Amino acid sequence: MKNLIRAFALGLASAAAFAPFEQFWLMFLLLAGLYALTRECRPGAAARLGFAFGLGQFLAGISWVYVSMHQYGGMAAALAALATLLFSAFLALFPAAALAARARLHTTAAWLDAAAYAACLALADWARGWVFTGFPWLSIGYSQTPPSPYAGYAPLLGTYGISFLTALCAAGLVLAWRAPARRMAAAGVLVLALTGGGALLRGVEWTQARPQPLSVALLQGNIEQSLKWRPELLELSLSRYLQLAHDNPARLVLLPETALPLLYDRLPPDYLAALSAPAVAAGGDVLLGAVRRGAGETYYNSVVAARSGASYDKEHLVPFGEFTPPLFRWTLRLLHIPMADLSPGAPDQAPFRIGAESVALNICFEDLFGASIALGAARASLLANVSNTAWFGHSAAQPQHLQIARMRALETGRSMLRATNTGMTAVIDPDGQVRATLEPFTSGALRAEVHGRDGLTPYMRGRDYPALLLCGICIAACLMRARPVPARPLP
């Protein structure tokens, strides 16, 4: 029981490695502690410890799920707390499975065992990114945005590759502790090589800036979520965004996800013309988030170009927020979420053309899916995300989401533009640094000039396959030298 409590405490503390705290060094120590706890465990005991770690991590790291369900979704407090607990418990199954698998791969070769630990945790992060449509929030790699030197590996191996390297370094620290001098030296060399290599890679420019900048204005309306869909406040949304667009002319004006609480085809034509007039006069366009009607009774969460009418439809929908999984239609009676039954957009949609630049759009939590973003970025010179994180109030969701967007900029060598309803609206440079941001929960516009980028990073070419191959090689090597784990008392 003591070890279960220790594992749970390690998981709770791991939330501090991510935004808004961003203590990236802490992840190495916590994963080292988890490796020390589970190193000699049998698979069942390792699974329980992994579950305890994951439960602590997700309860602390995604507590904002409760806020969205109770405060804005209208679910009773007790039910929202239970739903948050159950969701966290489901996500905790992934580290549980990872550590159980590592226990089965346990070998006498210390470094192979460390590699198996890193590979299994990285594969668990990857699997969490696609099972049941995927929820890769709080993947280990996201803790290593700048100033972490491991951010330098993002353009090569992506987030899951960083997950592997972080866990490998953590296991190396354990192997060095009270180890023979030769092993301690080897561990020191590994840690220094990984850390120094990442630091050197941070100085590499994988893409090239175009000479002519593009003027952009990212609008943040700050419309309270509980008020947004009230018919009597429609005029407030329309007038606020119209005023922001006219006061902040730019070639690219970006409005947040579902910025205007009307179906796109019900917006007054004269309003769209007025909204886009300053941008059109500059040779650009306004891209606004809206719910778009498709054929029949299908609806899409979309970004639409006011001038050209081109659209991007969200492909990765949020379970329960934008679509209801089979057998769960009954939840619609408990949640009061507008537009909760949408259709997914087609894969690999074309970028928007704004002057000489091509802008690849993604909506809300779509920027969690690095491989999809990299695929779209290969045909674009800029990335843009529109979000409405007002659902999560004054929680860690907004800074965590910004941290995820920073990793996408690093992986693709592209600037990322973020327009949000309540925060965090930001311009992120290709090196993952936030150049400018608006104060959350304020109304305003973030104006900047950004340069499109040419060229492909290694990650854009191989996406997650090199990291998965690396993990597969480690596991295959362990299988060749696997041995039974000696019996130990259960924790």
Q: Where are the domains of the chain?
A: 2-204+464-480, 210-456
Nearest alpha carbon to residue 305 among 344, 349, 352, 261: 352
Distance CA 194, CA 153 (A): 10
Q: Are 239 and 476 in contact (CB under 8 A)?
A: no
Q: Would you state the pLDDT for residue 19?
A: 97
Distance CA 35, CA 186 (A): 18
129-173 pLDDT per residue, tens? 998 778 999 999 999 999 999 999 999 999 999 999 999 999 999
CB atoms within 10 A of CB 465: 13
Nearest alpha carbon to residue 389 among 224, 239, 229: 224
Determine which one of 41, 120, 314, 471 is catalytic. 314
Assess whether pLDDT exceeds 90 at residue 268: no
Distance CA 105, CA 60 (A): 30
Q: Span 301-307, mean pLDDT?
A: 93
Instruction: For residue 349, give the DSSP letter.
Output: P
Question: What count of residues does the chain have?
Answer: 491
Which tops the pLDDT comparison, 101 or 308? 101
Question: For this structure, is 257 an active site residue?
Answer: yes
Question: For this structure, is 439 an active site residue?
Answer: no
Distance CA 165, CA 129 (A): 18
Query: How far apart, in Å, do the first and last CA atoms of the chain sit?
Result: 5
Per-residue tokens: 134: 């995927």
Report the mean per-residue pLDDT for the chain. Answer: 90
Distance CA 417, CA 414 (A): 10
Q: Is the dihedral of CA 193, 195, 196, 198 positive or negative?
A: positive
Q: Would you state the pLDDT for residue 120?
A: 98
Per-residue tokens: 107: 């070998």
Give 216's strand partners: 252, 448
Determine which one of 364, 471, 474, 478 is catalytic. 364
Share of the chain above pLDDT 90, in %: 70
Give Cβ neighbours of residue 395 (< 8 Å, ≥ 6 apart): 63, 64, 67
Q: Span 85-98, mean pLDDT?
A: 95
Q: Would you state the pLDDT for residue 327?
A: 47
Determine which one of 22, 41, 169, 257 is catalytic. 257
Q: Are 278 and 375 in contact (CB under 8 A)?
A: no
Share of the chain above pLDDT 70, in %: 91
Confidence of residue 439 (pLDDT cuts 50, 70, 90): very high
Instruction: For residue 228, give the DSSP letter.
Output: H
Question: For this structure, is 357 an active site residue?
Answer: no
Which tops the pLDDT comparison, 230 or 204? 204
Cis peptide preceding 147, ω within 30 of 0: yes
Q: Would you state the pLDDT for residue 470?
A: 97
Nearest alpha carbon to residue 218 among 383, 373, 409: 383
Task: Lay out the sheet containing 416-420: strands in order across.
Answer: 352-354, 357-363, 382-387, 416-420, 426-428, 434-437
Confidence of residue 486 (pLDDT cuts 50, 70, 90): low
Instruction: Name the CATH architecture for the domain at 210-456.
Output: 4-Layer Sandwich (3.60)
Whole-prediction pTM value?
0.92
1-59 pLDDT per residue, tens? 899 999 999 999 999 999 999 999 999 999 999 999 999 899 999 999 999 999 999 99
Assess whether pLDDT exceeds 50 at residue 73: yes
The HSE-up count of residue 349 (CA atoms within 13 Å, CB side) is 20
Strands 357-363 and 382-387: parallel
Instruction: For residue 418, give the DSSP letter.
Output: E
Q: Would you state the pLDDT for residue 451?
A: 97
Distance CA 360, CA 315 (A): 13
383-419 pLDDT per residue, tens? 999 999 887 888 999 999 999 999 999 999 999 999 9
